[in-house]
Chain A
């Protein structure tokens, strides 16, 4: 398997523009997670899906952020309008299962480095 695939790998945009980040999870994985990593706040969970349904979006910073998973092999994270403080590395991860006491880990993609000017 190719692992979790994210595109684009780098994105530079201007403040106010719409940004769409894409993720293809590992085939057969029922859970998909979106994270954001910054120097100031470290790695934070934004939202996660189970079987294409959003389960917890409490980490989404504000209404400018939205995430969708139209099918089991594709998810998007959209920022509209973008602001300079959204500059970060955004990671997508997937997992075959996910429960509190489970043995399973999360498999991370390479990330999208976003710079908003």
Chain B
């Protein structure tokens, strides 16, 4: 059974600092990996999707890397802003299902 772990569980940084969020998974036979954002009282919003054959994806200030062989992905958020405060979840797609990590709750202090 796929196990997805996210470290740290919570992170607090001053505005302008770069964020580094980590995700690890136990079974490297994945098809793709996604990073989602969840705001309080709201659903999840997909940020980036990385195919298993890719090494990274970028969207604006966000960059996600994938090392499938070692079972790791990292989400980088450059020059953080208070609006980046949210919970970030990674999810791996293996066999038609998404397995989610517990998330990292980020607070960006103004």
Interface residue ranges, A against B (CB under 8 Å): 4, 42-45, 55-56, 91, 93, 98-103, 105-111
Interface of A, helix, strand, loop or mixed by DSSP: loop
Q: Is the CB of B96 within 8 A of A56?
A: yes
Stretch binding the partner chain, chosen from B15-23, B63-71, B75-83, B97-105: B97-105
Give the size of the chain B interface in residues (CB under 8 angstroms).
Answer: 23
Contacting B43 at CB < 8 Å: which of A4, A42, A102?
A: A4
* Closest Cβ–Cβ distance, residue B87 to chain A (whole Å): 11
Residues of chain A within 8 A (CB-CB) of B49 are: 103, 105
Contacting B101 at CB < 8 Å: which of A42, A45, A106, A108?
A: A42
Q: Is B60 an interface residue (CB 8 A)?
A: no
Q: Is B28 an interface residue (CB 8 A)?
A: no
25 A–B pairs (Cβ distance < 8 Å), ordered by A: A4-B43, A42-B100, A42-B101, A42-B103, A43-B44, A43-B100, A44-B100, A45-B97, A56-B96, A91-B44, A98-B96, A102-B31, A102-B32, A103-B49, A105-B34, A105-B46, A105-B49, A106-B44, A106-B46, A107-B46, A108-B43, A108-B44, A108-B45, A109-B43, A111-B43
